[in-house]
Amino acid sequence: MSITDKLNEQFQAIHKVIWIILLPVILDIGELSLFERILKSEYQPISRLFNLKIGFISAPPSIRYILEDFPSLIFQYNYLSPFQGVINQVNLANVLLLLSIVLVTSFLNSGYMSVIGQAGYKRVTVKDFFREGNKLWFKFFILALLEVIPFLLILIKREFGYFSLGYVALVYVKYSMVVDQVSIRDNFKLGISFLFKNLGLTIKMAFSFGILFSLVGISIHPLAAMGFYGIVIGAIITAYFGAIINKAVLEIYREVSEKQH
């Protein structure tokens, strides 16, 4: 199976649900606008000509994959600066706020992945986004909770951030949630098992898709330097190619897992 061929097949499928790319664009631009208004800070992206990326872009995709300094309203941390964002310490109010955000974003992620999974197989509408997204909401909520735990641990002690490396083992779980009609426990088993059974394939995809986005990033960095409207265009480009890669990974997971079962 050629990864390039599988990737090329997904352009037509995504074009049938092209409206889905609006979701990650709205999330990125909405977060940027709220960040600048609430924290009274204007975002000035770091200027780069080329940024080598290795790995899978998130689903839904975010321009943050290319612009690594892209601000986060809720939580942001790097070793060169203190904690930034609304959530900068662990207390009851912040935990409740984080849980509320996770509830909403897990539903959006569920709807996005459901649409991506069905694209090319049937006619998919916005109604399917809400109906199918609701079916998988709880599963994506549990996965999202596991994802935010390392960030909460960082707020307690910075060294705990290394626990986030364990999340790599869950990279295929969300694809299993969409493809495999099984319990959430089996979704985790199947997703983790797929990773270890197909490490070679995973590495090939990580390099192939990472290099593709490295090339895409060549145009996004100059656009971001132009200001807000340039970032909007960059977010649209990221959302478009990100959706195609999300779809390619999902279809590769579907095809390979069917053969192995």
pLDDT tens, residue by residue, 200-257? 999 999 999 999 988 988 899 899 989 999 999 999 999 999 999 999 999 999 999 9
Name which of 174, 152, 170 is nearest 161 in CA terms. 152
- Position 69 scores a pLDDT of 83
**How crowded is residue 59: how many other Cβ atoms within 10 Å of its Cβ?**
21
Contact 195, 55 (CB under 8 A): no
- Position 178 scores a pLDDT of 96
How is the chain split into domains, by residue range? 3-260
Contact 74, 81 (CB under 8 A): no
Give the CA radius of gyration of the chain.
18
How far apart are the C-alpha atoms of 234 and 47, rounded to whole Å?
14
Write down the pTM of the prediction: 0.90
How far apart are the C-alpha atoms of 61 and 24, rounded to whole Å?
6
- Position 86 scores a pLDDT of 61
- 119 HSE (CA, 13 A, CB side): 29
Q: Spell out the residues 6+ positions from residue 31 whose beta carbon is closer than 8 angstroms to its own.
A: 71, 72, 73
Tens-digit pLDDT profile for residues 42-85:
888 876 766 788 889 999 999 999 998 888 777 655 444 554 56
More confident position, 160 or 94: 94
DSSP 109-152: HHHHHHHHHHBTTB---HHHHHHHHHHHHHHHHHHHHHHHHHHH
Contact 212, 206 (CB under 8 A): no
- Position 91 scores a pLDDT of 75
- Position 241 scores a pLDDT of 96
Tens-digit pLDDT profile for residues 130-175:
999 999 999 999 999 888 877 777 666 666 666 667 778 899 999 9
- Position 144 scores a pLDDT of 92
